[in-house]
Amino acid sequence: MTASIASRLILSLTLSASTIIAIALLVDYRLSREEILERLRVDSRLTVVDVVQDLERLLRGIEGNTRFIAGILARRQGSEEEIAQLLQEAVLHHDDVFGATIALARGQSAHPNGFAPYYFKQGGGVAYSDLTEGPVPYWQRPWFDDAASSGEPRWVEPYFDAGGAEIYMTTFSVPAFTTDDQGDQRLYAIVTADLTLEELHRYLKRLELGQHGIGFLVSREGLVMSSDADTVEMRPWQEVLPESQRQQFWLDMVNEAEPGKHTARHSDCAVVAGPCIIHMTRLQHSGWVLGVIYSERDVLAELRAYEYKVIALGLLCLAVMAVVVNLLTRRITRPLSALALSADQLGEGHLDTPLPQARGGDEVARLVQSFGHMKEELKRHISDLEQATANRSRMEGELSAARDIQMAMLPQSGRASEHCADFLLWATVESARTVGGDLFTYSLQGRKLFFAVGDVSDKGVPAALFMARSLSHLQHPGNRSPGQKLAELNNALVERNSNCMFVTLVLAVLDLDSLELRYASAGHPPPLLLHEGRSICPLQESGPATGLARDQAFPDNVLQLSPGDRLVLYTDGVDEAFNSAGEMFGTGRLAAWLDSCAGQSLAEAGQGLIEAISHFAEGVAQSDDITLLLLEVPRPTNQRGHQRSFHLTPDVIAASLDWLVAVLGPQLAPEAHSELQLVLEEVITNIYKYSGLGEQDTVSVALTIDDETVRLTVRDAGRAFNPLQDGRRAALGADIDHAEIGGLGVHLIEQLTDRQHYRREGDENCLELDRSLITTEDSTGTRS
Amino acid sequence: MKLDTRLVTDPDRSVARLYLAGALNTDTAPAFEQELQQVLASGLQVNVLDMRDLDYISSAGLRVIFKAAKQAREAGQRLAASHRKPHIEKVFEILKALPDMAVFANDQELDDYLDAMQARSR
């Protein structure tokens, strides 16, 4: 799921709010806990103090009473009746005293078993029991013996009063001494008062201890007299605390407890679950230890419950907040989502898509307004762009048409290839832009070949227009010398040339019989000559560029050519081509190329130079138009040869047939003439339709004639295809129902020529077709 | 080189005569094909290609005639050629084109044929 603004807002707000709540709760819990525990410490101390005071008062009361009786006995030993009376009153009038006895020491009573009447509370009245009747003599019982042997008043360890009241109790025993005549003291009796453990338990229950809090009272000797149990009990504390590890802890605490000193611990006590808060002190007279144990868990239970309530409330608030944030963000983002949809539509080009309505003046509304503005601007911009594109494509169309027209002004549309018996010529123009200012032309008048190469200042459309103007003035000079012709051209171009455009050019006339080359230059680089395998750059006398000032002189230069010589005319786009390092191609590389291409055909050599320049410039845009014209004077042979390349345009068949008719002239019989045309048409038609080549590609047609044979050689760079074997070939002679339509051409080619040969040369198909010119019966045998 | 045509029809005898002048080659064949289709579509019984002024024919031209002849036969029509120049005739012969196609050297042969056809249909 992609995180929407709503979900991100909800997530971040919930996270931060819950973090804040959690921290606040934690702090609150900590502080409240400390406070509660502190309050508990104070409260428990106060409670313990209260209970201790109560207990001490109780005990002091009992002690005081008992000591008083003992004091009476010490001064005046009453009769048995008086003693019984005293005891009855003591029990009856002292609420806290359960029972009391006065046990006479041995020898003080006339009875052999001694005298020990015991009065105790029973029902609403006072009951009597004679302690002398037990199985053990009473002077051996602890309540008697302890006080008797120590001679001090004592609280006896709690015990079960078997044979007496049959309950748990503890007893305060006070010895009463008499002084004889010699001043010696003799034990007269032990006076006791009993306190039931139930009474102690009741006092302890006044400690408010909560559900898990325990109040306890432990005797000097470690008997637990009261604890959390509902009934009275009496157990050694080791029994209550079976865990030996904690026994030492308790022992230490009990030992630490001193009368009037409070011992407090906050630790694990093993009595209640979790940590405990323990408070302890020792009673003054009895030496008993009174303590309280609070369970921390119990004390904090309310706090916890409160915190849980707060957490639940916090969660509820978070949920409500999430819902509110969700509603709020959806309300805010709804227009944004609608805007995104509209923007998608806009992006797909539907510029009339309506934008969502945005009310108010908030950021979203401003965004929608901006979008609306952008949409309008985009519309306007696209409309402008469409206009500009239309203008541009119209301009490009016009320029492209202009290029076609300009190229059509040049011989063979700017890529000329001419093979005659007397000369071979190859020329090309490579414009730096769609149209350019370079030109070349040639024409044959009688035995004189006129040719020229020129370069108009500047490039592009102005240069192209001036080039057209220059070209219109360049026709064969007739009997005038090249220099005179140049002077005429110069005067013609000076007229109405306010822009001061100019043309540099070389204009030459070659006499095909004498091989004398006469040429004049108007500020143009001189021709290069390849003679006997070496390049020569002849010195030339040059006039100024044409078109600038009238009546200029252009001296003629004369150069005698020999058969096998090659002449190169070029424009400065060749030697002044620059590479990325800013170096110029230069005449040195040009001469080196000329030396190296001696064995190649003119087309190969010329194409090689164009490629060399392109390789040299390597990625740098062509800066100037390039024009190259190569002329070769062939060594004499008895062959007459013609060659021409044709672009594979729709009129290629008409153009090639026209050329064939022109080069054949009247030298063949009409029948051979017509049949050769038919053969060439079939071959060219095949290539045009099936070679896979386009209009930029050419087909080369060569015709050689000697006295016996005429040979047509056709080359194309299309896919490898041998029409003699691979071509579709209709079965001949079938009746109309079974006759095939198509596949006829190859039959005509085979029947109308005497020898057919196909080979693949490199990337080219080469088809050679020979037709014998000797019309004997034998040689025509294969032909009908 | 171009091809000029002229159509003369004789509905009474159900004859169409298409005069060809110039060259019937790759360039001119497509237009000629359309024209010949129209002539055949008019439904006349006998359709004669008069080649007295035809200087040149290539395989592309013959292909069109082939196709038309086949079509005519299926429709119960006849396609014939007349007045072929020697080199045109030679091309026909090389390709052994249309052995069963009626060919007339001159007007007399053509007229005789047409009369015979008419006599047969009566």
Q: In which region does residue A151 sit, left (phi positive, over 0), alpha (psi from -120 to 50) or beta (all else)?
A: left
What is the least distance, in Å, from the CA of A753 to any CA of chain B? Answer: 12
Residues A474 and A589 grouped into a single domain:
yes
Token pair in block for residue B115: 């009369």
Instruction: Report the residue of chain B nearest A671, measured CA to CA.
Output: B87
- Cα–Cα distance between A13 and A322 in angstroms, integer? 8
| Alpha carbon separation from A398 to A378, A387, A393, A405, A432 (Å, rounded) | 29, 16, 8, 10, 17
Cβ contact (<8 Å) for B94 and A751? yes
A226 pLDDT above the threshold of 60: yes
B70 interface with A at CB cutoff 8 Å:
yes
Q: Report ipTM for this prediction.
A: 0.80
Q: Which residues of B touch A682 (CB under 8 A)?
A: 58-59
The shortest C-alpha distance from B57 to chain A (Å) reads: 8
Partner B, chain A 673-712, Cβ-Cβ below 8 Å: 674-675, 677-678, 681-682, 685, 688
The CATH number covering residue A756 comes to 3.30.565.10
Q: Cβ contacts (< 8 Å) between A735 and chain B: which residues? A: 99-100
Coil/strand/helix, residue A245: helix
Lowest mean pLDDT among A35-49, A226-240, A343-357, B41-55: A226-240
Best of B90, B92, B98 to disrupt the A interface (most A CBs within 10 Å) is: B90
CA distance A744 to chain B (A): 6
A763 and A693 belong to one structural domain: yes
**CB < 8 Å from B in window 706-735 of A:** 730, 732-733, 735
Q: Are residues A642 and A629 in the same domain?
A: no
Which pLDDT band, with edges at 50, 70 and 90, does A599 fall under? confident
Cβ–Cβ below 8 Å for A674 and B27: no
B96 in contact with chain A, both atoms CB, cutoff 8 A: yes
Gap between the Cα atoms of A595 and A605, Å rounded: 10
pLDDT for res A780: 41
Q: Which residue of B has its CA nearest to A678?
A: B58
The reply to whether A425 falls in a domain is yes
A674 contacts in chain B (CB < 8 Å):
55-56, 87
Query: Quick one: A540 and A472 in the same domain?
Result: yes
Does the pLDDT at position A475 exceed 80? no
Higher pLDDT, B41 or A475: B41
Is-contact A470 A488, C-beta < 8 A?
Answer: no
* The pLDDT of residue A720: 87
pLDDT at A420: 81
Instruction: Mark which residues 30-69 of B lie under 8 Å from A by CB.
Output: 55-56, 58-60, 62-63, 66-67, 69
pLDDT at B70 over 60: yes
| Higher per-residue confidence, A242 vs A50 | A50
Q: Are residues A572 and A426 in the same domain?
A: yes
Q: Residue A719, Cβ neighbours under 10 Å: how many?
A: 11
Mean pLDDT over each residue of chain B, to the nearest integer: 85
Q: Mind listing the pLDDT tens digit for each residue in A249-265? A: 888 888 888 887 888 88
DSSP single-letter state for residue A525: P
- CA proximity to A165, closest of A218, A101, A120: A120
> Under a CB-based contact definition with an 8 Å cutoff, are residues A773 and A672 in contact?
yes
CA distances for A480 relative to A132, A227, A351, A490, A530, angstroms:
183, 150, 70, 15, 27
pLDDT at A232: 66
User: What mean pLDDT do residues A717-730 have?
Assistant: 82
Specify the CATH number for the domain of residue A561. Answer: 3.60.40.10
Answer yes or no: do B59 and A752 touch at CB < 8 A. no
A476: in domain: yes
Task: Work out the minimum CA distance from A450 to partner chain B, whole angstroms.
Answer: 30
Whether the pLDDT of residue A742 is over 80: the answer is: no
Residue B121 Cα, gap to closest chain A Cα (Å): 23
Output the pLDDT for position A489. Answer: 92
The beta-carbon neighbor of B66 closest among A675, A739, A747 is A739
Q: Please check whether residue A425 is in contact with residue A629, taking contact to mean a CB–CB distance below 8 angstroms.
A: yes
**How far does Cα A349 stand from its chain's mean position?**
29
- Best interface-test mutation with B: which of A651, A668, A729, A736 has the largest number of B CBs within 10 A? A736
Give DSSP secondary structure letters for B21-66. EEEESTTTHHHHHHHHHHHHHTT-SEEEEEEEEEEEE-HHHHHHHH
Query: Looking at the structure, do residues A593 and A657 belong to the same domain, yes or no?
Result: no
What pLDDT is recorded for position A181? 77
Measured between beta carbons, the chain A residues lying within 8 angstroms of B73 are 736-737
pLDDT at A432: 81
The mean pLDDT value of chain A amounts to 84
**A751 contact B CB<8A:** yes
Provide the pairing of β-strand A528-531 with A516-522.
Answer: unpaired
Are the CB atoms for A306 and A47 separated by under 8 Å? no
Residue B102 touches chain A, beta carbons under 8 Å: no
Predicted confidence at residue A779, as pLDDT, reads 40
A175 and A188 co-located in one domain: yes
Number of domains in chain A: 3
Pairs of residues, one from chain A and one from chain B, whose beta carbons lie less than 8 Å apart: 73
Tell me the per-residue pLDDT of A439-456, one tens digit each, with 9 for 90 and over.
Answer: 999 998 888 999 999 998
User: What average pLDDT does range A382-402 have in this prediction?
Assistant: 91
Query: What's the gap between Cα B74 and its chain centre?
Result: 16
Look at residue A784 in the predicted model and tell me its pLDDT: 39
Task: Verify that A475 and A608 share a domain, yes or no.
Answer: yes
Chain A: give the shortest CA distance to residue B107, in Å: 24
- Tell me the chain B residues in contact with residue A657 when contact means C-beta distances shorter than 8 Å: 1
A537 and A618 both lie in a single domain: yes
Domains of chain B: 3-102 (3.30.750.24)
**Bigger pLDDT: A414 or A214?**
A414
Question: Of B56, B63, B94, which is closest to A742 when you measure between CB atoms?
Answer: B63
User: Does the pLDDT of residue A783 top 50, yes or no?
Assistant: no
Q: Look at residue A163 in the predicted model and tell me its pLDDT.
A: 67
The Cα–Cα gap between A546 and A529 comes to 24
- Contacts (Cβ under 8 Å, ≥6 apart) of B51: B20, B57, B81, B82, B83, B84, B85, B88
Q: Do A75 and A163 lie in a common domain?
A: yes
> Which residue in the set B1, B94, B99 is minimally distant from A747, CB to CB?
B94
What is the least distance, in Å, from the CA of B22 to any CA of chain A? 13
For residue A48, is it within any domain? Answer: no
A619 in helix, strand or coil?
coil
Q: With CB atoms and an 8 Å threshold, state whether B100 touches A677.
A: no
Candidate from B59, B98, B100 with C-beta closest to A748: B59
Residue A608 CB contacts under 8 Å (≥ 6 apart), including other chains: A593, A597, A600
For residue A601, give both structure tokens: 């055909």
Q: Which of A199, A217, A241 is the last residue of a domain?
A: A199
| Interatomic CA distance for residues A417 and A428, integer angstroms | 9
Does any domain span residue A526? yes
Residue A395 lies in a domain: no
Helices (H), A359-518: 363-409, 460-473, 482-494
Chain B touched by A741 (CB under 8 Å): yes
Report whether A505 contacts A452 (CB < 8 A). Answer: yes
Q: How many other C-beta atoms are found inside a 10 Å radius of the C-beta of residue A277?
A: 20
Facing B70 at nearest CB: one of A657, A736, A748: A736
Mean pLDDT of A127-146: 85
Instruction: Assess whether A713 and A734 both reside in one domain.
Output: yes
Q: Which of B73, B94, B101 to mutate to test the interface with A (most CBs of A within 10 A)?
A: B94
- Partners of A289 in the beta sheet? A218, A282
Taking CB atoms and an 8 Å limit, are B27 and A654 in contact across chains? yes
Which residues of chain B does A744 touch, with a Cβ-Cβ cutoff of 8 Å?
59, 62-63, 66, 95, 97
Nearest chain A residue to B24, by CA: A678
| Cross-chain CB nearest to A671 (options B1, B87, B94) | B87
CA A555 vs. chain centroid, Å, equals 76
Contacts of A51 (CB under 8 A, 6+ apart): A203, A204, A206, A207, A215, A290
Q: Is A47 contained in some domain?
A: no
Instruction: Tell me which residue of A464, A526, A517, A471 sits closest to A493, measured CA to CA.
Output: A471
Which of B56, B67, B94 is the closest to A674 by Cβ? B56
Cβ distance of A733 and B26 shorter than 8 Å: no
Of A199, A222, A242, the position where a domain reaches its end is: A199
Among residues A448, A441, A535, the alpha carbon closest in space to that of A489 is found at A441
Residues of A in contact with B96 (CB under 8 A): 732-733
**Contact between A558 and A518 (Cβ < 8 Å):** yes
Note whether A653 contacts B: Cβ–Cβ < 8 A. yes
Question: What residue type is assigned to position A192 of the chain?
Answer: T
What CA–CA distances, in Å, run from A491 to A255, A498, A518, A541, A543? Answer: 142, 14, 21, 19, 13
- B chain contacts of residue A782, beta-carbon cutoff 8 Å: none
Q: Do A449 and A483 fall within a single domain?
A: yes
The encoded tokens of residue A624 equal 């100037």
Confidence at residue A735, expressed as pLDDT on a 0 to 100 scale: 63
Where b means 16+ CB within 10 Å and e means fewer, A242-268 reads eeeeeeebbeebbeebeeeebbbbeee
A58 occurs within a structural domain = no
Whether residues B96 and A742 touch (CB distance < 8 A) is answered with no
Q: Cα distance from A728 to chain B (closest Cα, Å)? A: 13
Domain-ending residue, one of A636, A670, A693: A636
Buried b (16+ CB within 10 A) or exposed e, A424-451: bbbbbbbbbbbbbbbbbbbebeeebbbb
Instruction: Name the DSSP letter for residue A634.
Output: P
Instruction: State mean pLDDT over A462-469.
Output: 89
Min Cα–Cα distance to chain A from B21, Å:
16
Q: Confirm if A646 and A698 have CB atoms less than 8 A apart.
A: yes
pLDDT on residue A211: 62
pLDDT beyond 60 at A369: yes
Instruction: State how far Cα A594 lies from the chain centre.
Output: 60
What are the tokens at A458?
Answer: 């500047």
Chain B residues within 8 A of A730 when measuring between CB atoms: 95
Residue A403 falls inside a structural domain: no
- How close are the terminal C-alpha atoms of chain B, in Å? 43
Band of pLDDT at residue A781, cut at 50, 70 and 90? very low
Range of the domain at A430: 410-636
Contact A712, A769 (CB under 8 A): yes
Q: According to the model, what pLDDT value does residue A127 have?
A: 87
